[in-house]
Structure 1
Amino acid sequence: MTKKVCLILAVVLMSQASRACDDNKEEELAIQQSDEYFARAYGFTPETWNTLYHKPSSSLQDALDVSPYEGRTLFKRPQSSNNSFKKYFNRDQEDHENHGRFAFAGLGANIVNTGLFNNRYTPANTWRPLITLAKRIPISVNPNFNNPLGSFDPCNSNGGESGICTSGSVCSLFGGRPSGPCDQGQVCCINVINSCGSIVTLNNTYWQTPPTALRSPCTLTVRMDPKFIEQKNNPICQIRLDFVSFTTSQPTAGTCTDTFQVGGVSNEVPTICGDNRGQHMYLHVPLSSNNPTDVQLLFNFASGTTISRSWNIKIAMLPCGATYLAPIDCLQYFTSTRGRVSSFNWQDVAGARQLNNQNYNICFRTELISSQKATRMCMSVCSATDGDAFSITTPPAVLLVASANTGFASAVTTDAMEAAQNSAVGATYTDQSRANGITVATCLYDYLLIPGGRDANNVEADRYCGNKLNPSPGSVKFQNVCTNLFQQRVFISGTDTNVQVCTPIRPFKLTYQTDGQETAVDAVPATNTIQALADVSNTGFCLEFQEN
């Protein structure tokens, strides 16, 4: 028996010594594998330069001078100590008590009973059937000696799903599904949560609709803590949500009755609803080892509706210093030379789709075009069959009807006239049909901001709204139509065609804003509120973008 123990210890020490010199190489390999994964997952090739223009800073002083659009500096992992067991057998009493880390009962037992279930799930989930089995597992030499639990690196399954690399036993412990191989005998573990009130700590987890009747609210907590073994080597700075599918009830007059909200992040995330398949969000996470922040995803469902709600949301945890992090003030981030961008809930279907209270930035990484950085980005409205690819506010169209007999006049807004198809670019216009002229808002409350946007004739405008993408403000036109009983007077502002709009201003960025109502806005001089017409059947926007 003594000879067997000595033999095991000799093997362990030899394995440890042989890998001590390769620590840095393995860490570099893990980073390369991670970047390659995200290149496949998000459709871009990592460049030697950073998220927009410049090479990532390599020192702290350089980091202090970096623009917010240049991303964060590369995170340097601490060098491995000579004792590879130290990070698993933690002697810190506070860490052991608060986080359920490793005890001293043997390597094999600790792989199973490491506190992986501690502080991760709801208090009701306390059943641990493997706790006695853990005490029987003998010490064994794991091929991935520097991380017996697995690398937790991202991977793609045989079916194209995203997962993490770990051992088959740990995958089962976390409730995952092995699907395809990883290096060093590990498996690509696919993690799926299909319940309300659950807690997630693993990268590449899918939150799917519960199979039973939905309850409201339905929440999911993304718990982040650099002390967790699955996050220790890669502290998290951002979370990317990909809506593989997303269907809730449509808004009422632009306001969501079913709501999806996010809490615990440092950037502004709007409330959304409706159909959002294919959309994404970047959530910016305050990084703290002393007081880590939990991120909450929350669905609330209105009563009295029979619509079938469903979702499948991929939750990707992005490590600090990665080249694919979004700029700090961006909710959406696109990293390709061309593609499609649309407002939340836009679909090529008839009917109102625009959401109220949207205020966020959409950013685009400056890509290489023929080995040169792109100098401008151009946008055109998407081709739509049943829906409207650009409909933000209802442009001014007022019909004055005067009775020939009484002289009584009334003002009527309508979307049935030709004027409702025209654009309105200016933030306000003057209603000359009224005494002394009245200032009326157009692109003041709902608009898409394209800094430096201009057409082929170099006509430039920043704000775009109405029903056409066109920087030309047009002019006010009067039309008089007389009949035996009525006189009609119409004024129209703007132009009636969509054009391509390009901007040379880098970093390329759009800002989308809507107010909290679709009804008319009353003028309130005391609060400097300018009146605006009611919006009718607005859909939001869908644009094709191309860098060149």
Structure 2
Amino acid sequence: MSTIQLKLSSLLIFVILSLELQLSTAQYDIFDMGLDNPLNLIWKNRQTGHNHDMSTRINCPTYDNNNRTGTCMTSTSCKFQGGISIGRSTCRLWNTCCVFEITSNQTSNSRVTYFVNPPNPRTRTQPHHVHIQLLQDVCQLRVDIISMRLAPPLVEPAMPAGVTSTCKDEYLQIDPMTSDNTLPAFCGTQNNQHFYVHLDQHNHWSTFTLSIFLDRPAAATSDATWDIKITQLECPRYRGTHDKQAKTDRNQLANDFYLLAPRNCLQYFTEPRGEVYNFGFVPTTMSTLTTNQDYAICFKRQPGSCGISFKVNHFFLRSKAPCDEEYIYIPEAVDTEKICDEIPAMPVTTLESIHPGPLYIHFHSDSVVETPTGQHGFHFEYNNVRCQNKKNL
């Protein structure tokens, strides 16, 4: 081999290694003046507490039947961290879309993690905990309950009258709790639901724990099952010239910003139209709300929108006028702001809230309510209303 060929081969090897290093360090510029030795990034990022590994910050779709969301990283890193490599997807060269599924007493530091039930969970009564190591600048967690089947709320008589409906036998719980997190109890059947956890960045928490408590005998005829997606969302902050986080993927931050919920919103719907229903509502079966709930459901105002409308598919709450025990409050609703009791499915009822402020509804339930007599809860179809001629967007 001639000298020129050797030089060209050496140059090609150097270029390939440089590209691999640049991609594996996830978009850090190796000529950044803040870095003395780019190779040190690989080791410095392996720290406990806040995870600074940029490879766990870029989401990617899997395009499979499970409709999972993964994170871009090298296949070696994916295997080393216990992930499942799905394929390249939208990731860059030499990276793979890695999906993280954990069951019980496991830890994940991925942007997106799936908490799934272990095999045969009905024979176990101990809690199932998963721990999420928080990335730097994470200010919210979005928890999507894809599906969950636990024991229903326990309905008990109260003195001197009425009933309580609480999650006592089996339920989902989070830790830590903050003053901003007025979370209701989660039990029974939950499908395609979500909620937000607002983190207090001044407390500098490094870990978030999600737990499911079971109390199901071995002779039970059905399994307790769950499939829960946990997404870490970052709040933008100023980064100095030499900050190693300065070269964060801007598209990912833009995606996070779109999903960030307004303060104190338990749920946040970002699409212009869709369905909203109470936790535990199952249209085809009898279900009941848990008592002692008080939270806000928020909706993203779309460009050109002057309000929001709600088509009532089902509405039955255990309270009558003046709606003190259990109600939904819709700010500046055209007909009435506070609704309770029962709204029949026919004729079709549509409620409109036309005003310039944030779009939300407020659900409230006392600790003791009237005895339920039917399918209990609410199910609306919402739609942003265009200001011009007040047509749906």
The SS at the match of 1:461 is: coil
The SS at the match of 1:169 is: helix
Counterpart of 2:128 in structure 1 is: 218
Counterpart of 1:183 in structure 2 is: 92
CA shift in 2, pair 1:87/1:247, >3 Å: farther
Cα deviation 1:390-413 (Å, max 9, x = unaligned): 11115xxxxxxxxxxxxxxxxxxx
* Inter-partner Cα distance in structure 2 for 1:224 and 1:149: 13
Deviation at 1:294, TM superposition (A): 2.2
- Stretch of structure 1 that moved more, 211-220 or 342-351: 211-220
**TM-score, normalization by structure 1:** 0.54
Letter of the structure 2 residue corresponding to residue 311 of structure 1 = W
In the alignment, is the contact (CA less than 8 A) between 2:145 and 2:229 conserved in 1?
yes
Counterpart of 1:464 in structure 2 is: 339
CA shift in 2, pair 1:354/1:150, >3 Å: closer
In the alignment, is the contact (CA less than 8 A) between 1:286 and 1:293 conserved in 2?
no
* 1:261 matches 2:173: yes
Task: Please list every run of 5 or more consecutive structure 1 residues that lacks an aligned counterpart in the other structure.
Answer: 28-77, 91-100, 104-113, 121-146, 227-234, 383-388, 395-423, 428-442, 455-459, 471-495, 520-533
Deviation at 1:517, TM superposition (A): 2.8
Counterpart of 1:153 in structure 2 is: 58
Percent of counterpart pairs with the same letter?
23
* 1:209 matches 2:125: no
Deviation at 1:263, TM superposition (A): 2.0
Counterpart of 2:81 in structure 1 is: 174
* Inter-partner Cα distance in structure 2 for 1:255 and 1:545: 28
The SS at the match of 2:229 is: strand
In the alignment, is the contact (CA less than 8 A) between 2:325 and 2:369 conserved in 1?
no
Deviation at 1:355, TM superposition (A): 1.5
CA shift in 2, pair 1:345/1:87, >3 Å: farther
* Inter-partner Cα distance in structure 1 for 2:57 and 2:76: 13
Deviation at 1:292, TM superposition (A): 2.3
* Inter-partner Cα distance in structure 2 for 1:242 and 1:86: 40
Higher relative contact order (CA 8 A, sep 6+): 2
In the alignment, is the contact (CA less than 8 A) between 1:168 and 1:187 conserved in 2?
yes
* Inter-partner Cα distance in structure 1 for 2:264 and 2:182: 9
Task: Please list every run of 5 or more consecutive structure 2 residues that lacks an aligned counterpart in the other structure.
Answer: 1-5, 156-164, 237-256, 386-393
Counterpart of 1:277 in structure 2 is: 191
Deviation at 1:538, TM superposition (A): 5.2
In the alignment, is the contact (CA less than 8 A) between 1:255 and 1:517 conserved in 2?
no
1:115-514 to structure 2, matched below 5 A, reads 115=46, 150=55, 152-159=57-64, 160-181=67-88, 182-194=91-103, 196-213=104-121, 214-226=124-136, 235-253=137-155, 254-257=165-168, 258-266=170-178, 267-288=181-202, 291-304=204-217, 306=220, 307-321=222-236, 322-368=257-303, 373-382=304-313, 389-394=314-319, 424=320, 426-427=321-322, 443-454=323-334, 460-468=335-343, 499-505=349-355, 506-514=357-365
* Inter-partner Cα distance in structure 1 for 2:30 and 2:18: 18
The SS at the match of 1:323 is: helix
Over alpha carbons, which structure has the higher Rg? 1
In the alignment, is the contact (CA less than 8 A) between 2:328 and 2:340 conserved in 1?
yes
* Inter-partner Cα distance in structure 1 for 2:375 and 2:312: 15
**TM-score, normalization by structure 2:** 0.74
* Inter-partner Cα distance in structure 1 for 2:363 and 2:30: 44
In the alignment, is the contact (CA less than 8 A) between 1:152 and 1:166 conserved in 2?
no
In the alignment, is the contact (CA less than 8 A) between 2:30 and 2:38 conserved in 1?
no
Letter of the structure 1 residue corresponding to residue 83 of structure 2 = G
The SS at the match of 2:289 is: coil
* 1:546 matches 2:383: yes
More strand by share: 2
Letter of the structure 1 residue corresponding to residue 134 of structure 2 = M
Deviation at 1:469, TM superposition (A): 7.2
* Inter-partner Cα distance in structure 2 for 1:285 and 1:79: 33
The SS at the match of 2:114 is: strand
* Inter-partner Cα distance in structure 1 for 2:135 and 2:307: 40
Deviation at 1:87, TM superposition (A): 7.0
In the alignment, is the contact (CA less than 8 A) between 2:272 and 2:383 conserved in 1?
yes
1:25-104 to structure 2, matched below 5 A, reads 81-84=32-35, 86=37, 89=40, 102=43
In the alignment, is the contact (CA less than 8 A) between 1:247 and 1:274 conserved in 2?
yes
For this pair of structures, how many residues does the alignment match?
A: 331
* Inter-partner Cα distance in structure 1 for 2:340 and 2:33: 62
In the alignment, is the contact (CA less than 8 A) between 1:199 and 1:221 conserved in 2?
yes
* Inter-partner Cα distance in structure 2 for 1:467 and 1:239: 34
Counterpart of 1:46 in structure 2 is: none
What root-mean-square deviation, in Å, do the aligned CA atoms of Structure 1 and Structure 2 show? 3.5
Letter of the structure 2 residue corresponding to residue 516 of structure 1 = S
* Inter-partner Cα distance in structure 2 for 1:516 and 1:87: 58
Cα deviation 1:10-68 (Å, max 9, x = unaligned): 948x959xx8xxx9xx68xxxxxxxxxxxxxxxxxxxxxxxxxxxxxxxxxxxxxxxxx
* Inter-partner Cα distance in structure 1 for 2:216 and 2:233: 36
